[in-house]
Amino acid sequence: MKNRFNRLTSKEWLPFQKSWFRYDTDEKLFKENIRFFIREEPSEEKLFYWGDKEELVRSVCATEDVRMVNISTFDDQPLQFAIFDLRNTLSIISYLSEYEDIKLNILTLCEKIFHCLADRRFIVIMLPNIVLDGKYYPVVWDMALQLSSIFSLKDEKIACTSEPQIAQNKHVFTPNNKIFYCLYFRKDENSGGRYKERHHQLFKYNEPLESKKKFTHSIPSWFILKPQPRKKDEILHPAKYPEELVSMFINEFTEVDDNVFDPMSGTGSTQVASLRAGRNAFGTELSDFFAAIAIQRCQNIVQPTQIDLFGSPNKQQFSILHKDAREITKEDFPMIDYLITSPPYWDMLNMKGAENQAKRVVKGLQTNYSESTDDLGNIADYQQFVSDLTKVYLNILDIMKSGSYLTIVVKNIKKKGRNYPFAWDLTDSLMGKLILLPETFWCQDDINLAPYGYGNTFVSNTFHQYCLNFQKP
Ligand SMILES: C[S@@+](CC[C@H](N)C(=O)[O-])C[C@H]1O[C@@H](n2cnc3c(N)ncnc32)[C@H](O)[C@@H]1O
């Protein structure tokens, strides 16, 4: 297949498509982006750069035979690519109002760039979320949502560094290691071309409460897991998360004998990891089939058929109710210290064409959770889905202790060529009621890359999952 998008071979194309990467140097970062997003014809190769590393970008352009233009030299020839590098600019601000000024500048500039950018070409914006005065502000998500009225939001890559993050106060959760985002937008038939302010609640804020627990930084901002292979009963579920993931968070957010909860228990991974760590485990699950598997797995821990000679039976309590999570009441469970959960990722499991789905069909395995209309994974309308899911979490707040933490594992979704920033939209709708803490990324390293969009456009393989962290005020 002819590559009409850039000058890369398919072998070079593939690694760039992984949605997270280990950040090495700025030179490499710029080079990889310029090589991916600039087309072959030399006469058209024009790049715009905004940021504090102009000299470095200029030298990369020289080696790649790319012409760099500045704002005053936009002319008749269309731009092929633009880079906005806000990393350093944002790292030195002290007030949110400074961010608002920068944002307005960028949005005004982007309206201008929109007219110069060639059709179906991209811009990237590189930036981190920020902490100001002890509060966490998801400026990346705000910027993305605002910019998407001008360009079409297409993709994101997470740059993972091993640079340590300095924690101010160990009684407030701060993960170790820094990350920043590269957000990709395209000019295409779905782009509005004009900035229309989007009203959202991402900056609605409370002070994080001091925790009864001193945090040890055992959770980095990004991590890779090497989970145990799934057992026979666990494979029956189409979207289980590993117990190793739950263990990491439980160790950081809870103490022995605390009550852990998952409203959408699936195969009971949350409860199994909690019981093993000496925590009590509670939850609900809509499907009777999966609820039964979850209960059996917990039973095997609490009352094992063979107790090893030196150990003793687990004394922890567990209860998993076969029930719609929207109907949980205070009578169902004791007060909860920590919630960790992963919802259906909208109705993505009903997209039978997906590669993983096709493999399950071949093996005769169930591809979705259920056919029930109460199953949130069967809601076709995206806004309705986010709104119903929000109700689940807000309802559960009634059984959660003040100051307790919540971790929700989700993904931004790409469906039929459109991007649905599910992680950010869900956070937005929870922000009136919960305090946002820094997110952590579960970076998957054990899935083969697929050459989506090869030769035509950029479509990443989404191998990072958001672990959204909140605290109940
Ligand atoms: C991503 S899976 C959770 C998997 C689980 N973390 C595990 O490791 O096995 C989402 C689960 O939500 C359940 N679910 C969907 N709608 C629900 C509802 N209204 N109430 C309770 N559970 C629901 C599905 O049956 C599915 O098992």
- Tens digits of residue pLDDT in 173-199: 889 888 999 999 999 999 999 999 889
Position in ligand 1 atom list of the atom nearest CA 294: 9
Asked if residues 238 and 368 have their Cβ atoms less than 8 Å apart, the reply is yes
Lowest mean pLDDT of 81-95, 204-218, 342-356, 384-398, name the range. 342-356
Domains 10-186 and 224-433 agree in fold: yes
* pLDDT for the residue numbered 177: 87
Kindly give the distance from the C-alpha atom of residue 371 to the centroid of ligand 1, in angstroms, as a whole number.
13
At the topology level of CATH, where does 10-186 sit?
Rossmann fold (3.40.50)
The answer on pLDDT for 20 being more than 80 is yes
Q: Which residue among 246, 247, 375 has the greatest number of ligand 1 atoms within 8 angstroms of its CB, and so is best to mutate?
A: 375
The answer on pLDDT for 371 being more than 90 is no
Q: Is 43 exposed, middle or buried (0-12, 13-18, 19+ CB in 10 A)?
A: exposed
What are the sequence ranges of the domains in the chain? Answer: 10-186, 224-433
* pLDDT for the residue numbered 310: 57
Cα–Cα distance for residue pair 406/418, rounded to 1 Å: 29
Cα–Cα distance for residue pair 460/157, rounded to 1 Å: 8
At the topology level of CATH, where does 224-433 sit?
Rossmann fold (3.40.50)
Write the DSSP string, 307-334.
Answer: --TT-------EEEEES-GGG--TTTSP
Task: Note the Cα 225 to chain centre separation in Å.
Answer: 16
* pLDDT for the residue numbered 367: 76
Token match 């705000």: residue? Answer: 142
Indicate whether residue 130 lines ligand 1 (CB < 6 A): no
Protein residue whose Cα sits closest to atom 23 of ligand 1: 286
* pLDDT for the residue numbered 39: 84
At residue 165 the predicted structure's pLDDT band, cuts being 50, 70 and 90, is confident
Residue-wise pLDDT tens digits, 50-62: 999 999 999 999 9
* pLDDT for the residue numbered 108: 94
Residue-wise pLDDT tens digits, 406-458: 999 999 999 998 999 999 999 999 998 999 999 999 999 988 999 999 999 99
Mean pLDDT across 365-371: 78
* pLDDT for the residue numbered 308: 55
H/E stretch holding 271 reads: helix 269-276
**β-strands 336-341, 464-471 pairing:** unpaired
- What's the mean pLDDT when you consider all of the chain? 91
| pLDDT > 90: percent of the chain | 71
Indicate whether residue 237 lines ligand 1 (CB < 6 A): yes
Kindly give the distance from the C-alpha atom of residue 30 to the centroid of ligand 1, in angstroms, as a whole number.
41
